[in-house]
């Protein structure tokens, strides 16, 4: 198994926990956990493989493997993304893992350029999990700074006054100038395309789904759900919004509001593709009521998840705004696990830990390392707390970004894996179980939307 291979490569014999949810989801999590850790009568796959490696030794501070299911947060894959990488994956722009094609104009003629997005790209590495508008601002700042400090960019107006030292500096700065302009053109082009894709939803769609998912406004105050349906109708009637976006917002409504009555369905479904309707019905298999609204099925935030969202609104006040309020439930679960607050009733161990993952606590907060003058960096990393999260049913780009950000905050090693990285398109098509063909383009709208090569003012 891939999880076993990962643990062995990390010299990890982790304690294994799983989400003990009701229904099939909890059973699947438990079955996988028992395959790995054994069930008391049979040895698990981890110990079987370790027995074949006579020189293998586990780390001193054992990690924790937490097995979760997509059912615990069915809303996250449906929400539109406004962070850089997630928005591109959301719109199905990234191909073959790291390639993106951008429509540009050269000498007045449209052309397509393929760019690579990887860890060697400094801006991509730094900004991939940030709000797209923040990234635009950061690029503008970088441009102003570069124009001041680079001799080629800053000295073009005063060529006649250059001395020999300035000429030499210009020669040295020229490669930097070329690299900067290439990267700047690359990212501004990608961001323009991203904003063009979000434009039809900016006025109302993004705000509505965040209102429904969080139940609070951008300031963290509770809001009424009375006008949710009328706002949903306006979105479904729009010819500017693509079918995929309509389906996502309709499904978010059903999940968060505890269902949808027949009268509402007759109105809403008349604006949706007929072959897409089975995907809505299959939400029942995730434990979601799709019939008449029932309070028992309304997705309400628990106190810790609500606190996490409010904390996000405070920390990201400038960028959270109307469209970046919701935080994946997965983030709250992992945060509780790191802090030692995750309930063993809802997330039990397969068997009592031989030794628990140690995350040191100090008065000033959480620390992940003891400070000793005799300790080497290698020893320090060997004791660094480590948590592995595995999500059955797929994980989203926004969840991956949120988890890695959490690792930096707590100074712990976090690894997240899944049965696949889930895009909204894949999520809905998998729910439809074949009624929506895999090659059907749900990103198109009925209107003649602006092409992606149209200039956007950044």
pLDDT tens digits along 117-144: 888 999 998 888 888 888 988 999 988 8
Q: What is the mean pLDDT of residues 43-71?
A: 89
Band of pLDDT at residue 409, cut at 50, 70 and 90: confident
pLDDT of residue 455 exceeding 50: no
Q: What percent of the chain has pLDDT over 90?
A: 23
Q: What percent of the chain has pLDDT over 70?
A: 84
pLDDT of residue 363 exceeding 50: no
pLDDT of residue 375 exceeding 60: no
pLDDT of residue 394 exceeding 50: yes
Q: Which of 81-85, 428-432, 447-451 has the lowest mean pLDDT?
A: 447-451
pLDDT of residue 298 exceeding 70: yes
Q: Report how far residue 196's alpha carbon sits from residue 132's, in angstroms, rounded to the nearest whole number.
A: 12
Structure tokens that stand for 389 in this block: 């999260």
The pLDDT of residue 373: 42
pLDDT of residue 269 exceeding 90: yes
pLDDT in tens, 142-176: 888 887 776 555 555 555 555 556 555 555 666 77
pLDDT of residue 456 exceeding 50: no
Q: What is the mean pLDDT of residues 77-99?
A: 83
The mean pLDDT value of the chain amounts to: 81
Band of pLDDT at residue 66, cut at 50, 70 and 90: very high
pLDDT of residue 449 exceeding 50: no
pLDDT in tens, 313-322: 888 776 666 6
Higher pLDDT pick, 1 / 293: 293
The pLDDT of residue 351: 80
The pLDDT of residue 230: 94
Q: Report how far residue 411's alpha carbon sits from residue 171's, in angstroms, rounded to the nearest whole number.
A: 42
pLDDT of residue 14 exceeding 60: yes
Band of pLDDT at residue 350, cut at 50, 70 and 90: confident
Residue 372 and residue 380 in contact, taking contact as beta carbons nearer than 8 Å: no
Q: Report how far residue 395's alpha carbon sits from residue 382's, in angstroms, rounded to the nearest whole number.
A: 28
pLDDT of residue 348 exceeding 80: yes
The pLDDT of residue 365: 46
Q: Which of 46-50, 190-194, 292-296, 393-397 has the lowest mean pLDDT?
A: 292-296
Q: Report how far residue 40's alpha carbon sits from residue 350's, in angstroms, rounded to the nearest whole number.
A: 9
């Amino acid at each position: 198994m891939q999880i076993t291979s990962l643990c062995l490569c990390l010299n990890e014999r982790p304690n294994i926990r799983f989400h003990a949810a009701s229904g099939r989801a909890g059973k699947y999590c438990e079955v996988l956990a028992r395959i790995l850790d054994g069930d008391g009568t049979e040895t698990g796959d981890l110990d079987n493989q370790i027995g074949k490696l006579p020189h293998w030794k586990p780390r001193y501070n054992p990690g924790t493997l937490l097995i979760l299911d997509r059912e615990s947060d069915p809303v996250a894959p449906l929400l539109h993304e406004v962070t850089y990488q997630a928005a591109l994956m959301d719109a199905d722009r990234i191909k073959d893992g790291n390639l993106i094609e951008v429509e540009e104009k050269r000498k007045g003629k449209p052309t397509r350029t393929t760019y690579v997005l990887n860890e060697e790209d400094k801006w991509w590495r730094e900004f991939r999990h940030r709000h797209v508008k923040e990234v635009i601002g950061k690029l503008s700042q970088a441009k102003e700074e570069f124009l001041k400090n680079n001799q080629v960019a800053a000295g073009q107006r005063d060529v006649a006054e250059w001395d020999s030292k300035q000429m030499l500096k210009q020669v040295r700065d020229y490669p930097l100038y070329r690299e900067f302009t290439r990267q700047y053109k690359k990212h501004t082009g990608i961001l323009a395309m991203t904003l063009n894709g979000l434009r039809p939803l900016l006025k109302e769609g993004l705000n509505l789904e965040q209102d429904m998912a969080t139940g609070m406004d951008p300031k963290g105050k509770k809001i009424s759900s009375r006008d949710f349906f009328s706002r949903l109708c306006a979105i479904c009637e729009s010819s500017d919004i693509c079918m995929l976006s309509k389906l996502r917002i309709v499904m978010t409504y059903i999940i968060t509001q505890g269902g949808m009555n027949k009268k509402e369905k007759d109105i809403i479904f008349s604006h949706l593709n007929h072959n897409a309707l089975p995907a809505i019905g299959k939400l029942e298999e995730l434990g979601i009521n799709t019939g008449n609204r029932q309070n028992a099925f309304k997705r309400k935030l628990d106190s810790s998840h609500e606190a996490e969202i409010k904390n996000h609104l405070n920390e990201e006040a400038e960028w959270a705004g109307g469209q970046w309020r919701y935080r994946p439930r997965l983030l709250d679960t992992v945060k509780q696990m790191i802090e030692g607050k995750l309930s063993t009733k809802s997330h039990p161990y397969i068997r009592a830990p031989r030794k628990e993952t140690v995350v040191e606590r100090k008065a000033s907060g959480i620390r992940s390392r003891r400070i000793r003058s005799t300790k080497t960096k290698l020893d320090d990393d060997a004791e660094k707390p480590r948590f592995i999260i595995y999500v059955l049913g797929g994980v989203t780009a926004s969840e991956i970004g949120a988890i890695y950000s959490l690792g930096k905050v707590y100074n712990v090693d976090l690894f997240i894996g899944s049965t696949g990285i889930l895009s909204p398109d894949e999520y809905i098509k998998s729910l439809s179980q074949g009624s929506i063909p895999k090659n059907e383009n749900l990103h198109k709208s009925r209107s003649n939307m602006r092409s992606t090569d149209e200039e956007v003012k950044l």
